[in-house]
């Protein structure tokens, strides 16, 4: 039985399907944040690396190019995204890069088998974050490292806040409480530090990465994508036709206001969370 039944149903279902269909765009949207994580990794060509919530495998493959004589395992809940990762690795001849459908919260990873574990915006969705982080830690060798990206608070992330504002339609939208399962579960520095300590990590650090999120080549391209997102569908589902049309027009205008020479860019802020296994 999975430790994240609700998330498993979403990610190996509609949510994962949407990501798989738009994998290139999703990966491009946060590429500047992912680059900051990868730049900070201290990997050798023989490193063994675990990629948690690997999605379509972009980060897994990027690590695999560095750890060219090592082993790299990407795990995710979405079978469709994992299939994309396997195909991409095969196309590059990266035989040492593997993908497995697994819930990292409860999966029986081989103990002390990885030099590093990474996660690009995948660690925020655990039902029991301490149990999940502890399970990942047990897969690390003594003094093995953890490096993950997680979103900071909503007010610092216009790529969500601006969409919510555009689609509010006069409603007072709730803000998720600190630590609640979801994209902002690791936004609170003290709570995230406490959870990592409870999971057995030391040398914990949180560094802010402030880079924009890219939504499309121009406003119309961005709207064609953003209008299909789960947050957009969810926030407009209960509106009548007139209110829904007005909200979507406001969304279109919001995206147009962020159209630049480099595409539609909205402010984004994440934590680069680093920690070390004991031993």
* 80 has pLDDT over 60: yes
pLDDT at 66: 97
Rounded average pLDDT over 181-199: 97
The whole-number average pLDDT for the span 124-133 is: 96
How many whole angstroms separate alpha carbon 157 and alpha carbon 29? 13
Domain limits of the chain? 5-153+179-213+269-277
Q: Are strands 269-277 and 140-151 parallel, antiparallel or unpaired?
A: antiparallel
Element (H, E) at 113: none
CA distance from start to end of the chain: 31
Question: What 8-state DSSP symbol labels residue 155?
Answer: G
Residue 1 has pLDDT above 50, yes or no: no
With contact defined as beta carbons under 8 Å apart, do 231 and 52 qualify? no
Q: What is the pLDDT of residues 226-276, one digit of tens each?
A: 999 999 999 999 999 999 999 999 999 999 999 999 999 999 999 999 999
For residue 3, the model assigns a pLDDT of: 60
More confident residue, 2 or 163: 163
Does the pLDDT at position 176 exceed 90? no
Q: Mean of the pLDDT values across residues 208-235?
A: 96
pLDDT at 2 over 70: no
Neighbours of 52 (CB within 10 A): 28
Averaged over 66-90, what is the pLDDT?
96
Report pLDDT for 220. 97
CATH number for the segment(s) 5-153+179-213+269-277: 3.40.50.150
Q: Are strands 213-216 and 263-266 parallel, antiparallel or unpaired?
A: antiparallel
pLDDT of 26 above 50: yes
The yes-or-no verdict on residue 76 having pLDDT over 50 is: yes
For residue 3, give the DSSP letter. S
Inter-CA distances, 173 with 161, 165, 176, 187, 197, Å: 10, 9, 10, 19, 33
Lowest mean pLDDT among 175-184, 200-209, 219-228, 238-247: 175-184
| Structure token pair of residue 149 | 């990206």
In this predicted model, what pLDDT tens digit does every residue of 27-72 receive, in sequence order? Answer: 999 999 999 999 999 999 999 999 999 999 999 999 999 999 999 9
The mean of the pLDDT values for the chain is 94
Distance CA 61, CA 54 (A): 10
């Amino acid at each position: 039985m999975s430790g994240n039944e609700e998330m498993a149903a979403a990610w190996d279902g509609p949510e994962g399907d949407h990501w798989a269909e738009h994998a290139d765009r999703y990966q491009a949207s946060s590429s500047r944040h992912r680059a900051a994580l990868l730049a900070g990794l201290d990997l050798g060509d023989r490193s063994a690396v675990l990629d948690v919530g690997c999605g379509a495998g972009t980060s897994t493959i990027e690590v695999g190019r560095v750890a060219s004589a090592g082993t790299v395992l990407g795990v995710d809940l979405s079978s469709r995204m994992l299939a994309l990762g396997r195909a991409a690795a095969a196309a590059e001849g990266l035989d040492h890069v593997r993908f497995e459908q697994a819930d990292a919260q409860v999966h029986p990873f081989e103990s002390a088998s990885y030099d590093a574990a990474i996660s690009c915006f995948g660690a925020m969705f655990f039902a029991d974050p301490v149990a999940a982080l502890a399970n990942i830690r047990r897969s690390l060798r003594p003094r093995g490292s953890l490096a993950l990206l997680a979103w900071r608070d909503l007010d610092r992330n216009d790529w969500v806040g601006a969409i919510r504002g555009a689609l509010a339609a006069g409603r007072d939208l709730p803000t998720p409480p600190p630590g609640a399962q979801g994209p902002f579960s690791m936004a609170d520095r003290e709570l995230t530090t406490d959870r990592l300590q409870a999971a057995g990590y030391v040398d914990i650090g949180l560094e802010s990465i402030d880079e924009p999120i890219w939504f499309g080549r121009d406003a119309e391209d961005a709207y064609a994508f953003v209008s299909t997102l789960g947050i957009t569908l969810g926030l407009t589902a209960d509106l009548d036709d007139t209110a829904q049309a007005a909200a979507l027009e406001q969304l279109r205008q919001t995206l147009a206001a962020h159209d630049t020479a480099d595409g539609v860019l909205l402010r984004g802020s994440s934590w680069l969370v680093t920690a070390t296994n004991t031993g």
